[in-house]
Structure 1
Amino acid sequence: MSNHLQALPGFYKLLFFYLEPASAIIPAPMIWLWPGAAWFHHEQIPHSNPSFPASESLDPRTAVALWQLGNCYMLVGLIVSLVFRVAEDAFRDNPVAQERIVGATLTAMAITDLLLHKIHSVLSSLIGLPTDIRYDIFSWNGITHGNITFTTFVFCVRLAWFMGVGRRRFYYGQRRPVRVIKA
């Protein structure tokens, strides 16, 4: 995998260019088509009894809200995926421009991580979990790990990218020349 996207080297490219967009896009058809909105709704909080039957029907308002959530997942996944690909193609020989575009996108994602995912997704998922499985991460399902484990991990990796961990900085963290205005 040659890296013309110098702003996202190695693991950062794997995570932000491939895995994160896939993790955002894949739930959309799962909600819309199969296994469906009811399945997704019931997976939000794993039942302490794995043989507990999930209801097959949802209130129509809940179904519509979940389909809209699927739309949001798809939108976020496509935006991130396409913006990074355009930055790679359009600015192949301009790592400063690449980093500014990647950084702006990661800033927006980090703000959403902090304000929406961390406060709403992670905390509400933890609070909503039954006490018998709240701290037993081995009893969590994929949706629970996505809401808590994966979003926390991705947020930490975003912070590491901004701190320059494991990568060369081209724009963020660079000293900028001071412009002197003459009167």
Structure 2
Amino acid sequence: MDKSKHLSAHPSDLVSRFHRSRSLSTPAHSGRDRSSPSMRPTSAIPPAYYTVFAIYEPVLTTLGFLGAVLDPKGTHDYQAPWPNGPPPEDLPLATRLTIIQLGHVCALLGLLNVWLLTAARVHLSFQPALQEKIVGALLTPLLIGDVAHLWISLWALGDQRWNIQNWSPMLFITFTLGFTLFVPRVMWQLGIGRYVDSRDRPSPKS
């Protein structure tokens, strides 16, 4: 008797029972909940940022150091225009030493990027919140340095700062390369394409 009643049930009843059983076994938004955590960034120093700050920037700073060592006079003379005549024939020893030391400092900053960011990426990959703090402790002062470098360079140029047609090629390169590092650092600070703990921290339910 029960079997005949089940077979003679109205089709709409069967459909409603099917939907009720499906809703009980599978939450309405389970598919979305399962996929959304996997779409969140999981690293504070993903490959794109690592390439810029741990490869590209150290290469630039190392090349700058080598240029200062191999040709300190050229490095000095091409830093700014010479509106009142050609540069001096001989470079004072103190100036030569200062240029080489500044080049060494730049190369050292590049090496710090390599070692610190590599250590954070390798050893803190499962602690993205701590990784974000360590990486931020490096990139934040470097961002301040980018702004200060551009501002000080313009200030030091004096009356020549807006006489752009007389700028040396090295001066153009200095500003251009500075922006290629400044923009990614700003993007990192804005949390673009990387793990941000306040935004991407897994919820207790996930």
When normalised by structure 1's length, the TM-score is 0.72
Structure 1: distance between partners of 2:183 and 2:159? 21
Q: Which has more radius of gyration?
A: 2
Contact 1:122 / 1:147 at 8 angstroms: preserved in 2? Answer: no
Structure 2: distance between partners of 1:132 and 1:105? 33
Report the residue type matching 1:37 in the other structure: P
Alignment of structure 1 residues 10-159 onto 2, 5 Å: 10-32=47-69, 34=70, 36-45=71-80, 57-115=90-148, 117-125=149-157, 128=160, 131=163, 133=165, 140-141=168-169, 143-159=170-186
Structure 2: distance between partners of 1:122 and 1:130? 8
Contact 1:21 / 1:78 at 8 angstroms: preserved in 2? Answer: yes
Structure 2: distance between partners of 1:9 and 1:112? 22
Structure 2 alignment gaps of length 5 or more: 1-41, 202-206
Report the residue type matching 2:48 in the other structure: F
Instruction: Give a deviation string over 1:27-63, Cα, whole Å, max 9, x none.
Output: 112212x2x1101011212579xxx986563011211
Structure 1: distance between partners of 2:156 and 2:72? 19
Report deviation, 1:112: 1.3
Structure 1 alignment gaps of length 5 or more: 177-183
Report deviation, 1:155: 1.5
Structure 2: distance between partners of 1:76 and 1:127? 31
Contact 1:38 / 1:56 at 8 angstroms: preserved in 2? Answer: no
Report deviation, 1:152: 2.5
More helix by share: 2
When normalised by structure 2's length, the TM-score is 0.65
Report deviation, 1:92: 2.6
Structure 2: distance between partners of 1:74 and 1:55? 27
Where in structure 1 do 4 or more consecutive aligned residues deviate above 6 Å?
Answer: none
2:194 is the alignment partner of 1:168: yes
Aligned to 2:23: none
Percent identity, please: 25
Contact 1:122 / 1:148 at 8 angstroms: preserved in 2? Answer: no
Aligned to 2:37: none
How big is the alpha-carbon RMSD for the aligned residues of Structure 1 and Structure 2?
Answer: 2.9
Contact 1:24 / 1:77 at 8 angstroms: preserved in 2? Answer: yes
Aligned to 1:6: 43
Instruction: Give a deviation string over 1:64-86, Cα, whole Å, max 9, x none.
Output: 11011112112111111111011
Name the structure, 1 or 2, with higher relative contact order (CA <8 Å, separation 6+).
2
